[in-house]
Amino acid sequence: MRVPAPSAPTAGMSLSRLTERPRPLHDSRQTFMDGVLVIDKPAWFTSHDVVNRVRRILQERSVGHLGTLDPLATGVLPLVAGRMTRLAQFYTASEKTYEGAIRFGFATDTYDAEGEPLAPQQTVKATLEQLQQTAQRFTGRIRQMPPPFSAKKIHGVPAYKLARKHREVELQPVEVEIKNFELLEWDGEQARFLARVASGTYMRSVAHEMGQILGCGAHLAALRRTGLGEFAIADAHTLEELEAAAKQGRAQDLFVHPRKLLPEMPSVTANEENVARIRVGRAVNLPELSRARQVKVFQGQSELIAIATRVAGTLFHPKIVLAVEPQTTASR
């Protein structure tokens, strides 16, 4: 049976909190809330639900996420706020890690526990070894059919919107990469797994297709994202933790330190002259990084001011600027 996203008061949220008038969000004259934050997404929240909640907590309009999680799923949901939203373009192909469970015996229309069963439940006669052998067929580069209830767009319309209207969903298989897929335990009904996948991979589709191969049906029973790019579950905070920190005026203490972002790019601390040039979008010479394609440019130890791209020799041009001239700050 499909379980809707929460519309009633959730744990830790009183009815009075839901009925009080919302506080105004940041305007351009207020202190900026620029940073990257990892939220441990609760089940039955959409990623957009989390973004909206964080916008209100931080009082910052500019908040986005770096990779959608299904309502059923929990775990690592990195968010970018303020000027840091400009970093989103560098995370479109980030590797992801998951732990979860696949239930065998019947498939659902959404390929997960949120959907309606497509057939009566069957008894599954398989050993862990047999399931592991089947799982091996999904390792490496494979062609995968996205679920009909997904954000994959068809002529500009998300597939799930068409599916909910009972309109035909004509999805095409896409190539994805599953770098590691390991079934750990099997209780005769559910199998617990670990997976490491490239961006664009649907573990719901993996579960559904395993059920088809075994002839018994299957669906994704639980999913927790434990990593996305450089962000791990150890970096994550709950919405309640963020709200408590914000009330104490220390929400930024929960942000990821900028030096930890995009570790594949080398970092350079710019001198005052180069900082001034970068702030207005001008190219600078960075002799110590002549072989790098892109670099993170810092002012001091913790202020990330730009991502710069090498254009020739030791000349780097800012691809994105994350800081502006101090005197123009109020006109953001």
Taking the C-alpha atoms of residue 182 and residue 185, their distance in angstroms, rounded to an integer, is: 10
CA distance to 2, 153, 212, 324, per residue, from 105 (Å):
18, 30, 10, 58
Which residue in 34, 40, 70, 112 is the catalytic one?
Answer: 70
Q: Tell me if residue 235 is catalytic.
A: no
Radius of gyration of the chain (CA): 23
| Beta carbons of 305 and 323 less than 8 angstroms apart | yes
For the residues of 175-228, what is the DSSP string, one character each?
EEEEEEEEEEEE-SSEEEEEEEE-TT--HHHHHHHHHHHHTS-EEEEEEEEEEE
Task: Measure the CA–CA gap between 71 and 106, rounded to whole angstroms.
Answer: 20
- List all residues 6 or more positions away from 15 whose beta carbon is below 8 Å from its beta carbon: 9
Q: Point out the residues that are catalytic.
A: 70
